[in-house]
Amino acid sequence: MKAPSVMSHLKPAHIECSKEDIAEVVIMPGDPLRAKYIAEKYLEDAKLINKVRNMFGYTGYYKGQRVTVMAHGMGMPSVSIYAFELFYFFDVKRIIRIGTCGALDESLGIPDLIIANESYTESNFAYSYNGDPTHLAYPSESVTNYLIELAQEKGLKYHVGSVMCTEQFGFYSDNEHVLKRVPEDIHLLGEEMETFALFHIADSFDREGAAILTVVDSKYSEAFLTPEERERSLDDMITLALDSIL
């Protein structure tokens, strides 16, 4: 099913810049300060192009390739706003989410990476968005396969598989009853709160969406990342996403 139509007079309500200010490829962390960190550490000639609601967006160059790094906030409602506006108003071709997640499989360690090839949700997000009753959404196959290829080349510890996209932070809820309802043929690696909406909206526009997630907590472990370890592990995810645009 395709993207919903909007009134012709509408302009983006959450991104304030010109169409030319945003690159065709956007890397999206949830945290606005992480977008700032990426722009300052990895981009050349980075320019702040959005600060509405402090949802910072920057456009610059990574190894000569123009790219935008912009935050999307937390949860499906938030990422859906920014993904829709980027695809609809700014003609973005690809969005790669880079975020954190919790492990739902005891084989995953901290800080392993997950390259998501499927996102499952109990939410009725898709039906609300465009009348699609589905609870499964998929990323761009070509972008996902290239991320896997790059992760192999870099020697990163990564997993490929399904993630659960929830409407409630898993560690602050009793979610076992939810996990028991997941179809038996879906083996979940991790849980987070945004991928389904991104994949579904990208598909509705016939654009590319993908996601790389860093495992930062696990129901099977009491391990805790120090700030230095967390930064280093997130840097692996960040550079994997950035290198994929070259």
Instruction: Indicate if 243 belongs to the active site.
Output: no
Question: Residue ranges of the alpha helices (H) in 104-189?
Answer: 125-130, 141-154, 176-179
**Residue 51: other Cβ atoms inside 10 A:** 13
User: How far is residue 162's CA from residue 115's CA, in Å, rounded to a whole number?
Assistant: 9
- β pairing state of 65-70 and 57-62: antiparallel
In sequence order, the 6+-apart residues with CB closer than 8 A to the CB of 130 are 1, 2, 3, 4, 204
Task: Single out the catalytic residue among 45, 217, 235, 243.
Answer: 217
Helix axes 227-243, 32-42, angle to 10 degrees: 70
The catalytic residue positions are: 217
